[in-house]
């Protein structure tokens, strides 16, 4: 295909970067589902630099090769790099073990019973969208479901 371009596509946490080649927006969205292994959930595509949503083929055709873009799947939100960094830095400065806490909870939600009051306050005061951005939609849904049980 003569109009195929290569893009650097990131997840909302900016921790996973994949390279995808596509000649149309629809093809890009479908390939993004494959590389991020998200079954049947087509993402919105945004420019990583300013959050502009790429929502039509005309705009897609103006993008340069190697443009850095972000896949925003249902339940996720695009955040600018500065806000994302400040949010993460604020969490880390409040509690340097926050990553460890989240990893333990992601591996086994029962670890919530071992969290001290200060860490539990930090976790409960988090913006729910930030929690989803950091941990992923599946984990947030698991936490929500555990509250209902």
CATH of residue 63's domain is 3.10.20.10
pLDDT-derived band at 49, boundaries 50, 70, 90: confident
- Angstrom distance (rounded) from CA 45 to CA 131: 21
Q: What does the pLDDT average to over 8-30?
A: 93
The last residue of a domain, from among 20, 40, 72: 72
pLDDT of 62 reads: 95
pLDDT of 106 reads: 64
Do 98 and 60 fall into the same domain?
no
- Angstrom distance (rounded) from CA 105 to CA 90: 20
The last residue of a domain, from among 72, 90, 120: 72
pLDDT of 91 reads: 46
Do 102 and 141 fall into the same domain?
yes
Do 87 and 127 fall into the same domain?
yes
Select from 129, 148, 139 the least CA-distant residue to 109: 139
Q: What is the pLDDT of residues 85-143, one digit of tens each?
A: 555 444 444 444 566 666 666 666 666 666 666 666 666 666 666 666 566 666 666 65
- Angstrom distance (rounded) from CA 133 to CA 49: 17
* Domain membership of residue 34 as a residue range: 5-72
The last residue of a domain, from among 72, 97, 113: 72
Do 56 and 88 fall into the same domain?
no
Do 63 and 88 fall into the same domain?
no
Do 91 and 138 fall into the same domain?
yes
Pairing between β-strand 5-10 and β-strand 68-72 as defined by DSSP bridges: parallel
pTM for this structure?
0.57
């Amino acid at each position: 295909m003569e109009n195929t371009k290569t893009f650097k596509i990131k997840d909302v946490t900016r921790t996973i970067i994949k390279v995808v080649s596509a000649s149309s927006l629809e093809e890009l969205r479908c390939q993004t589902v494959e590389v991020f292994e998200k079954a049947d959930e087509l993402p919105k595509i945004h420019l990583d630099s300013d959050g502009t949503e790429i929502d039509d083929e005309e705009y897609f055709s103006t993008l340069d090769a190697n443009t850095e873009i972000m896949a925003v799947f249902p339940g996720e939100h695009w955040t600018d790099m500065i806000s994302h960094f400040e949010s993460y830095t604020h969490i880390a400065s409040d509690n340097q073990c926050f990553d460890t806490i989240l990893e333990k909870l992601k591996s086994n939600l029962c670890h919530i019973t071992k969290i001290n009051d200060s860490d539990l306050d930090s976790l409960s005061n988090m913006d729910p969208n930030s929690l989803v951005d950091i941990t992923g939609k599946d984990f947030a849904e698991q936490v929500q479901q555990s509250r209902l049980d």
